[in-house]
Structure 1
Amino acid sequence: MTKEEVLKKYFGYDSFRPLQAEIIETIIAQKDCMVLMPTGGGKSICFQVPAMVMPGITLVISPLIALMQDQVQALKSNGIPAAFLNSTLSTIEQRTIEEDCKNGSLKLLYISPEKLFSNNYLGFIKTLNVNQIAIDESHCVSTWGHDFRPEYIQLKALKDTFPNVPMVALTATADRVTRKDILNQLGIPEALIFISSFDRPNLNLRVLPGRNRLKVIHEFIAKRTNQSGIIYCLSRKNTEDVAEGLRKLGIRAMHYHAGLDAQTRAEVQDAYIKDEIQVIVATIAFGMGIDKSNVRFVIHYSLPSNVESFYQEIGRAGRDGMKSDTLLFYSFGDIITRKEMIQKSELPDEMKEVQLAKLERMKQYAESEICRRRVLMSYFNEETNNDCGNCDVCQNPPQRFDATIFAQKALSAIARAEQKAAMGMLIDILRGSQNRSIYEKGFQNLKTFGVGKELKYEEWAEYITQMLNSGIVDIAYDEHHYLKLNPVSWQVLKNERKVELVRFEPYDVKKARLDEDVPRERTKKDVIKDALFEKLRILRKKIAEEQNIPPFVVFSDATLSDMAQKRPINRFQMMAVSGVGEQKFRMYGDEFINEILRFSGENPTIARAKQEKGMTFLETFEMYKNGLTLEEMAAKRSLNPVTIVSHLVKLFEDGQEVDLWQYIMKYEYNQIIAEAIKMNIQKGDAIKPLFEALEGIYDYGKLRIALAIWAKQNV
């Protein structure tokens, strides 16, 4: 089979995404390569399609048990013979898989690096007809990467063992230094590098101050009923506290971290993958092994340590290409905590410097006042001159003002308190609060006592936080969180430096930024589509529970959305839905068609036109298969032959076996297409100008036939 035939038959897609076809051709040509694609960008297709095209077996090095299990399960559901080898298998199960490898009945074998190099298992791999080697999550190879795994260093032995077998390294995140290190570590320094755009336009990017986090999260999730999400926390205790807080608010949430025993982690992860819980609150121990396509939001409760980690983690939302949200909470305290973790780590000084520099870039992203997507893409050396329009900075440009006087008041109060006031106490001094703590310390006698009465507590908290984030003032976490002056502070106090801050917004205004823009009035068609999507989602969940598999393995959200849009009621219509391949149709097609028909009965006005159109196409197709001519079909159906042609063209475009060449001569085709190319006629364009340019020699039916054949040949 060709790569296009494999794509349609097993994966249900009509065309490749950008770069996929070129990468696949490179692998089939026996050349090494590196693939950088964002999470959800279609990296797996790049080695799974060649695996089915080439003779032999593909070896996939995968870092986590859960990841390889999910991917193998998804491949099997598509009708692709695949298996994994890891510690969860019994000896008998392992022997069975090894026999399947030897006799050629498997096309992909997933294995961890630990398994590969234990007990000289590489010796067994040498006996197989390996056609390619795929290194998934290859950033683990690099000592400069953000997720270093020592076991991955040994993978160079694979290239030494199979020097003529193409190796493909795949990752979602790697800057220039890391890319070079990965290729050297794998022994393929001259490999071709394919870099897909790092842009994920379906992800909305937002950053909020790190206050009222649980309240904001609750309101955020409440607007996303039945949508799966991940909340990343810095510490294990954070995960437990946040998950418990959400459960008390009625949200199905569980926590996940490395301190849980293996069985509990597996149970939580399984429940999340199967949509039994809505939200998982986790440390970075969770995520790399998750192949869940319907995650609709990712929240960072704390600042990640670097842009690579952040990008990898937000990439777990919207893997199916559908609209998804990301939210990052940011505070100066997060920066201090992260710096302390790096300084106290056992990393060599050289790597500590690298990690601190990466943390600084993450800080710049969080504090950015330009399009956040541009900041991310620039980090990965991809330039763009256009703002995305889908981040908080683009949607709500910050209003800045000259806040020098406010800053001087705060800095003067810090100085007069002898730099022994934390933020709360400083605000009380500025606002002239009459409380016991003020009087115990004698702060009511300071000249700056009450000089900031014009601002509310929340306003001062916002502005002082911005001053911290801008380096105008420091905080001593080892001295009761006292605020400290620095050289910049003195420049401001001496009027040598101006201070610009973003104007304070009340919480209810800031909260509105979490909501989508004021929604347009939804049409009846939109309402029907969403209602049908929910019906299909419930059916998917039922089937998944019966088969004990994750719902997204049945069909992705993107496929259900396309199904709800097209409302297929027969085989050829269902096969035109994106993500429905032959195996998926055999397994689930009839059930989903029946659900759509039931829904149509409940909504007859909307459904009737779609259903009647599908039935008339099906009737034409049955006559065609019975060998009737155009004229005979038109006569039996009392339709114009051109209408019958339009049915056949649609069937042909939907992938049905219709031979359009029997209705057009080669010279007619050549003349029509030559004129179409000259006029730059594209598929879907109105063809009246083409009809007129050819002076009516050919009817609209002939024109449609020629254009359909040409479009199929030039996919």
Structure 2
Amino acid sequence: MNDSALDWQQIHRTFQQIWGYEDFRPPQAEIIRVLLASKDALIILPTGGGKSICFQLPALLQTGLTLVVSPLVALMENQVQDLRSRRLRVALLHNELPRTQRRQTLQEIERQQLKLLYLSPETLLSPPVWERLSHPLLKINGLIVDEAHCLVQWGENFRPAYRRLGAVRPALLKSKPSGTKIAIAAFTATADLTAQKIISETLQLRQPECFLTSPYRNNLNLQVKIVWTPKCRRERLLKFVRRKEKQAGLIYVRTRRDSEALAQWLNSLNYPTAAYHAGLSPQERRAIETSWLTGNRLFVVCTSAFGMGIDKPDVRWVIHFHPPLLLSEYLQEVGRGGRDGQATDALTLISEPTGWLDPQDKQRDRYFLLRSQQQYRQAQQLVKKIPNRGTIDAIARQFPEGEIALSLLHSAGRLEWLDPFHYQLNPSQSSSFPARDRLQRQPQLLMRQYLTTRRCRWQFLLNAFGFTTQATGFRCGHCDNCC
């Protein structure tokens, strides 16, 4: 199909033929128009809002390749499997692929046989992939950053490749014919005002069209309960799970160790479950996902690694056995419940405020904060040892935490990426680091305020995510404070 010949009737007909829906949901049509016009965009749609179609359809209608940066293998596999079942020209690349499949996909890129390519930020910036994407004759329409909140949550000290994505477009354009356009669109279900700014600045979005949809869902009933001891926390969980017998759910914890210990305890009480975390093998993760999706296992004890992009409509409850660190994580995770529009309970268990009887929550928060502060101190030391210009590979080989340190320096304004692989220090910003400690504590403080607020919880969330007009005088009737 010729790009210039596209009209809305053709677009709508293709949409119906591929997905079988009668019409778009708001604001899908408007987003599709923007992406077909090669404009940058920042899109915030609630979980289950149909955001994948917004970038998949334009990619399939255009000539050339659209890159989709995705954070998790499971998320990529689910979307690619769905599109392949519709006989569409899509592929994925990640480190867990067999060598033969990886080689075949690289050949498909060279032969320009793909419309959509899903890959992680690390794979996008790997030499074999980058070499092929930089070929002058390969037409690239756009770069989609799916689940863009991961850039904010993980980009500094867990997945530092995210901080280099802003240098991708300028570097690719240098290798392409004059006049080439590569649009960038960031999609997420949760981004507060600070996160929106970080995403836009890091990706170097150019006058992006913004689509901000309220996260409010009146079928999600939010509750927070104080537990006074570790034993009380488990008893409260058990009581809740017994009430939800034969209903699908999720139990979120903070660490791998927590997931394994809690799953073992529940199994000993004849509740068949499994611990899901990033330390499992790909085969183990797929097996747990499949057993949950098919209903063979009613619930899973998981870290934040589970659920992103996995579509199970009938999740009737979500428990945070430990509160998450960030409000955006919380909203993402409770949003995995009730995608079918039916009433769903979201319960968060928190330690009593003093921490004397159950210090677990305070200890976890302190651990994550101290670890982050240590990484900033390492970055401050590194800036005294590295050359003003260099490559990320050289720094990573020389210093164990070198890649994370460069990411933190970039976040603090002390470094810029000349391209995705070469950096330059910016000595004029030498005073940027002292404020980091205060900035790190702010998200934790916001989460704590949410957990202890006596106001409407949905109103608190709407205010935090920038929907102040809608939230004025708002009472949801779907949280423990309103009811």
* CA distance in structure 2 between the partners assigned to 1:78 and 1:323 by the alignment: 32
Deviations 1:253-296 (A, max 9, x none): 11123455565445434433443321111223434364544433
Shift of 1:143: 7.5
One of 190, 200, 212 as aligned partner of 1:183: 200
Alignment pair present for 1:345 and 2:371? yes
* CA distance in structure 2 between the partners assigned to 1:15 and 1:322 by the alignment: 22
Name the SS for the 1:14 alignment partner: coil
Unmatched segments (≥5 aa) in structure 2:
1-8, 174-179, 377-433
One of 215, 223, 233 as aligned partner of 1:206: 223
Q: How does 1:331-410 map to 2 (within 5 A)?
A: 331=351, 332=353, 333=355, 335-347=361-373, 348=376, 350-383=435-468, 384=471, 385-395=473-483
Does the Cα contact within 8 Å between 2:325 and 2:447 map onto a contact in 1? yes
Name the SS for the 1:34 alignment partner: strand
* CA distance in structure 1 between the partners assigned to 2:370 and 2:107 by the alignment: 49
For normalisation by structure 1, the TM-score amounts to 0.52
One of 230, 246, 253 as aligned partner of 2:250: 230
AA aligned to 1:218 is: L
For normalisation by structure 2, the TM-score amounts to 0.75
* CA distance in structure 1 between the partners assigned to 2:366 and 2:132 by the alignment: 46
Does the Cα contact within 8 Å between 2:325 and 2:443 map onto a contact in 1? yes
Name the SS for the 2:482 alignment partner: helix
* CA distance in structure 2 between the partners assigned to 1:218 and 1:346 by the alignment: 33
Q: How does 1:555-574 map to 2 (within 5 A)?
A: none
Shift of 1:372: 0.8
Alignment pair present for 1:172 and 2:257? no
One of 125, 131, 136 as aligned partner of 2:146: 136
* CA distance in structure 2 between the partners assigned to 1:313 and 1:169 by the alignment: 19
**Structure 2 residue aligned with 1:83:** 91
Q: 1:104 to 1:129 in 2, by over 3 A?
A: same
AA aligned to 1:380 is: F
One of 206, 212, 218 as aligned partner of 1:195: 212
Name the SS for the 2:481 alignment partner: helix
Q: 1:238 to 1:144 in 2, by over 3 A?
A: closer
AA aligned to 1:132 is: G
Shift of 1:351: 3.4
* CA distance in structure 1 between the partners assigned to 2:26 and 2:144 by the alignment: 20
Does the Cα contact within 8 Å between 1:335 and 1:363 map onto a contact in 2? no
**Structure 1 residue aligned with 2:82:** 74
Q: 1:134 to 1:321 in 2, by over 3 A?
A: farther
Q: 1:97 to 1:260 in 2, by over 3 A?
A: closer
Higher strand share: 2
The count of aligned residue pairs is 395
One of 168, 177, 180 as aligned partner of 1:158: 168
* CA distance in structure 2 between the partners assigned to 1:74 and 1:121 by the alignment: 24
Name the SS for the 1:392 alignment partner: coil
* CA distance in structure 2 between the partners assigned to 1:157 and 1:301 by the alignment: 39
- Greater than 6 Å deviation, 4+ residue runs: 143-147
Shift of 1:94: 2.5
Report the RMSD for the aligned CA atoms in angstroms: 2.6
Shift of 1:329: 0.7
One of 222, 240, 260 as aligned partner of 1:220: 240
Shift of 1:5: 2.1
Q: 1:79 to 1:386 in 2, by over 3 A?
A: farther
One of 299, 302, 319 as aligned partner of 1:279: 299
One of 322, 325, 332 as aligned partner of 1:302: 322
One of 46, 52, 59 as aligned partner of 2:60: 52
AA aligned to 1:59 is: L
AA aligned to 1:3 is: I
Does the Cα contact within 8 Å between 1:32 and 1:167 map onto a contact in 2? yes
Alignment pair present for 1:255 and 2:275? yes
Percent identity, please. Answer: 37
Q: How does 1:488-503 map to 2 (within 5 A)?
A: none
One of 89, 98, 106 as aligned partner of 2:114: 106
Q: 1:238 to 1:49 in 2, by over 3 A?
A: same
AA aligned to 1:374 is: Q
Deviations 1:192-244 (A, max 9, x none): 22111121222111111225333333333334344322111134343233222
* CA distance in structure 2 between the partners assigned to 1:156 and 1:243 by the alignment: 40
Deviations 1:460-484 (A, max 9, x none): xxxxxxxxxxxxxxxxxxxxxxxxx
Does the Cα contact within 8 Å between 2:319 and 2:348 map onto a contact in 1? yes
* CA distance in structure 1 between the partners assigned to 2:333 and 2:291 by the alignment: 20
Shift of 1:168: 0.7
**Structure 1 residue aligned with 2:123:** 115
